[in-house]
Amino acid sequence: MIRDLAPADLLRWRSDASRVPPVVVDVREPWELERCALSDVIHVPMNELPGRLDELPRGRDLVVVCHHGVRSRYAARYLATAGFAPVWNLAGGVEAWAADVDPAMPRY
């Protein structure tokens, strides 16, 4: 099952020392990360995901992120069918992160 996670909720989760932080997987293209990026992510471009599943931890919450939340939703579904759980989609992607959490983040 894929669940959406609001950017503000991801910020709280990553800041909460009493919880195990999620693993954030950014499926955008390298040129997109050059424009703006979240910290502490695993970067696996969406088209490389099938060949790089062994780089992702099993048994940890995964939050998948892209520009607007569309590609990440597809990637999250793929990860769930590959046996990863729980898997979250960052609602609105880095665009929503910039709007709701980090207004200083460049937008594209």
Let me know if residue 51 belongs to a domain. yes
Out of 10, 63, 65, 66, pick the active-site residue.
66
| Positive or negative torsion for Cα 36, 42, 43, 47 | negative
Range of the domain at 89: 2-100
Residue 30: CATH number of its domain: 3.40.250.10
Annotation marks residue 36 as catalytic: no
Strand partners, 42: 25
pLDDT in tens, 23-77: 999 999 999 999 999 999 999 999 999 999 999 999 999 999 999 999 999 999 9
Instruction: Quote the number of domains for the chain.
Output: 1
Taking residues 80-94, report their average pLDDT: 98
| Triad 53, 31, 71: Cα angle to 5° | 50
Q: pLDDT value at position 91?
A: 98
Let me know if residue 107 belongs to a domain. no
Quote the CA–CA distance of 13 and 98 in Å, as a whole number. 17
Is 88 a residue whose pLDDT tops 90? Answer: yes
Residue 93 three-state SS: helix
- What are phi and psi for residue 9, nearest 5 degrees? -70, -35
Quote the CA–CA distance of 79 and 85 in Å, as a whole number. 8
Quote the CA–CA distance of 66 and 74 in Å, as a whole number. 10
